[in-house]
Structure 1
Amino acid sequence: MSTDFCAQNPLSVSFADVEEAANRLQGIAFKTPVLTSETFNKRTNSQVFFKCENFQRTGSFKFRGACNALIQLSEAEKQRGVLTFSSGNHAQAIALAARLLEIPATVVMPADAPKVKQEATRGYGAEIILYDRTQVSREELAAKIAAERHLTIIPPYDHAWVIAGQGTAGLELIAEVGELDLLLVCCGGGGLLSGCAIATKTLSPQCKVIGVEPEQADDAARSFRTKTLQTVTNPDTIADGARTPSLGKLTFPLVLHYVDEMATVSEDAIRSTMFFMWERMKVVVEPTGVLAAAALLSGVVQSENARIGVIVSGGNVDLSEVNRFFYCN
């Protein structure tokens, strides 16, 4: 951990924030199931617990953070409405949470975002503004629209209330299965990884926490190694939820403080793990959702005779495009 960096960037979220988020989300967010697989256990020679956020409302963990954030807005902010930018899962989460709380929602989405995610976001009642990710900065476009319309921006990961909400997934997992030796969490912008690491290091202090991202979108792994924020531009990976340009100003110091290691997995490992979970575990999981499991199944991370937690982040697959998973490079 870089002491100087963390001293300049104080930690924004505590375990108490995660606990408070869990209380707010009771009766709103689902308590998702924890699944096991004998075949997976045999292949890894460990006991693996899958926290299945693909069964969360809107099909991903993102609903936890979105709802925790929107609940805490002032009445004036709720009346004016909110805006976010997202390739899909956070978009859907904001849209549904806003509908439940009767808040107008606008979402800036890339035009090439999976159609199933676009349609679901519209279906939850949000206005969608599409843009070309190769030509336009989503952050700049979102800031411009929010200023014009006087909307409150709720970013997909770099927000204390969002991070605390995501951490409730890790809190629930350990509350159900007990202490762990290892926890694996996918990483895009670091909101889920940060939140779950905070909960895990408090409830199971000896547990090692590893973040996992695609080899072709390894900005967080490079940032972790160098202790300097690294970026990536429109990485070519099927894990669309991990195409974020970098860790955030809030998530980077949290990752440095709470996470023990970062790992990366190949596109082939992502595909083969996704198909394994579809075929053997009978659950629909999207490419980003299997990153953590892929690190184990591919042997990138090895920890025999251990109790291992795996956060399965989401299951929003556009089934009309499944063939591309077989034939892409």
Structure 2
Amino acid sequence: MKQGIDLADVKQAHHAMYDVIHHTPLDKSVTFSNMAGCDVYLKLENLQKTGSFKLRGAYNKIHSLTPEERAKGVIAASAGNHAQGVAYAARMMEARATIVMPEVAPLAKIIATRGYGAEVLLSGTVYDDAFHRAQELEQENGQTFIHAFNDYQVIAGQGTVGIEILEELEDVSAIVVPIGGGGLIAGIALAVKELAPHVKIYGVQAQGAPAMYMSKYAHILKSTPDAVTIADGIAVKAPGDLTFPIVDHYVDDIVVVDDEATASTILMLLERAKLMVEGSGAIALAAILNHKIPAKGKVVSVVSGGNIDVNFISRIIERGLVKAGRRIKISTQITDRPGLLQQLLTVIANTQANVISVFHDRVEQNVPIGQAVIEISLETRDALHTEQILHNLRQHGYSARTI
């Protein structure tokens, strides 16, 4: 049996899935190009079937199985994108799929995975529990285990992203890729460096899950005790022993990005590009916009996925509006008499701010008798508008401050 992986494997995967997957857009962003000081292109794998690049590797792995192996079925452990990729790919090739997910997996992802035809089993409270249960079932039932990243056929499938980029943008100068376990960047780096060695390949990890970053600089496998990041798609404690040597050989550099920058980029993608992107999909662009990458010429940011929880999006939007000075809360004190609250609101209305909520408290222990504390949440245009509102209130005698 062949050991390892080469360019021929990636080309074979590209041919095998040519009419199966979406050839996702490579979209130039004028907005992000101006911000980064180079030509930024977005490889939109968030628009791939199942919402992420994971379908590529899963399909290539299942496609490589013998008819007998497919008849026995496949099994995987995942709480997210890999689960949906395996389920979808298995359905296309009429293979029975079992996905073991943690009991705390989001209901939406469980429903989506079942919707693609897979049997979903819930086991344990964390991914490691689900992984061990999947391995037990693999031994009991003879199913083929589909690893999320540490598999040569999976790596080859992910490498097709790199071939598509080169086919569409021949003069690309750099490709920036998110890293968790390393399957995506290993495949892309191998394919691109073999076909166009001058193209730089940069990896990006979350600051709270930097195992591949540490391994790259130590040139040996390193792991972290925890993997804590909003980019849950790349929250991996240890890279694969198959992916790491490829990354160590082909990838030019790896950088880390904090969650604040990733969250801001998610919001910018939503607002400026009208794209819903998960944390792992936004982190490569976050590195470019925050000048972590020595980007010149035409730079591709791989947007790896878009399966983000809508409640989490809501929190990011709220936090982003506050950070940008577009949503504020003001506290002041007024005499507790009829009509004075209306006067205060009139002053605010004259500044063109939009009132979201008003909290009126005249019984708080620290409030003098006959006075009332007013807290007002406002929508504003920007930080300068906030300063104008505070200035206007103070001119009218209010001791206003933001809280």
Cα distance in 1 for partners of 2:133, 2:127 equals 11
Pairing 1:163–2:165 present: no
1:113-152 pair list within 5 angstroms? 113-134=105-126, 136-152=128-144
In structure 1, the partner of 2:237 is 245
Q: 2:63 aligns with which of 63, 68, 71?
A: 71
Instruction: Please state how far the C-alpha of 1:133 moved relative to its aligned partner.
Output: 4.3
Q: 1:257 aligns with which of 238, 249, 254?
A: 249
Partner of 1:128, secondary structure, is strand
Partner of 1:36, secondary structure, is strand
Instruction: Please state how far the C-alpha of 1:327 moved relative to its aligned partner.
Output: 5.5
Seen in structure 2, the aligned counterparts of structure 1 residues 135 and 85 have a Cα distance that, compared at 3 Å, is: closer
Q: 1:11-37: per-residue Cα shift (whole Å, max 9, x none)?
A: 821111110000000110111011111
Q: Which runs of 5+ in 1 are unaligned?
A: 1-9
Instruction: Please state how far the C-alpha of 1:264 moved relative to its aligned partner.
Output: 0.6
In structure 2, the partner of 1:37 is 29
Cα distance in 2 for partners of 1:316, 1:176 equals 25
Q: 1:322 aligns with which of 299, 313, 321?
A: 313
Instruction: Please state how far the C-alpha of 1:271 moved relative to its aligned partner.
Output: 0.4
In structure 2, the partner of 1:313 is 304
Q: 1:23-81: per-residue Cα shift (whole Å, max 9, x none)?
A: 00011011101111111101111011111001111110011111111111111111110
What root-mean-square deviation, in Å, do the aligned CA atoms of Structure 1 and Structure 2 show? Answer: 1.8
Seen in structure 2, the aligned counterparts of structure 1 residues 280 and 327 have a Cα distance that, compared at 3 Å, is: closer
Partner of 2:82, secondary structure, is helix
Q: Which runs of 5+ in 2 are unaligned?
A: 321-403
In structure 1, the partner of 2:223 is 231
Is the CA contact 1:215–1:265 (under 8 Å) kept in the aligned structure 2? yes
Instruction: Please state how far the C-alpha of 1:219 moved relative to its aligned partner.
Output: 0.6
Partner of 1:98, secondary structure, is helix
In structure 1, the partner of 2:192 is 200
- Which stretch of structure 1 is more off in the superposition, 116-125 or 153-162? 116-125
Cα distance in 2 for partners of 1:87, 1:142 equals 12
The one-letter code of the counterpart of 1:322 is I
Cα distance in 2 for partners of 1:206, 1:102 equals 41
Instruction: Please state how far the C-alpha of 1:277 moved relative to its aligned partner.
Output: 0.7
Seen in structure 2, the aligned counterparts of structure 1 residues 269 and 199 have a Cα distance that, compared at 3 Å, is: same
Instruction: Give the number of aligned pairs.
Output: 318
Instruction: Please state how far the C-alpha of 1:233 moved relative to its aligned partner.
Output: 4.1
Q: 1:103-128: per-residue Cα shift (whole Å, max 9, x none)?
A: 11011222333333222111101111
Quick check: which one's strand share is greater?
2
Seen in structure 2, the aligned counterparts of structure 1 residues 69 and 47 have a Cα distance that, compared at 3 Å, is: same
Cα distance in 2 for partners of 1:234, 1:145 equals 26
Cα distance in 1 for partners of 2:237, 2:156 equals 21
Cα distance in 2 for partners of 1:275, 1:11 equals 43
Is the CA contact 1:284–1:315 (under 8 Å) kept in the aligned structure 2? yes
In structure 2, the partner of 1:185 is 177
Cα distance in 1 for partners of 2:3, 2:246 equals 6
Cα distance in 1 for partners of 2:228, 2:239 equals 18
Cα distance in 1 for partners of 2:127, 2:294 equals 40
Identity, in percent, stands at: 39
Cα distance in 1 for partners of 2:145, 2:128 equals 18
Q: 2:40 aligns with which of 48, 59, 76?
A: 48
Q: 1:267 aligns with which of 251, 256, 259?
A: 259
The one-letter code of the counterpart of 1:28 is V
In structure 2, the partner of 1:296 is 288
The one-letter code of the counterpart of 2:167 is A
The one-letter code of the counterpart of 1:311 is V
Seen in structure 2, the aligned counterparts of structure 1 residues 148 and 11 have a Cα distance that, compared at 3 Å, is: closer
Instruction: Please state how far the C-alpha of 1:245 moved relative to its aligned partner.
Output: 2.3
Seen in structure 2, the aligned counterparts of structure 1 residues 135 and 196 have a Cα distance that, compared at 3 Å, is: closer
Q: What is the TM-score normalised by the length of structure 1?
A: 0.92
The one-letter code of the counterpart of 1:313 is S
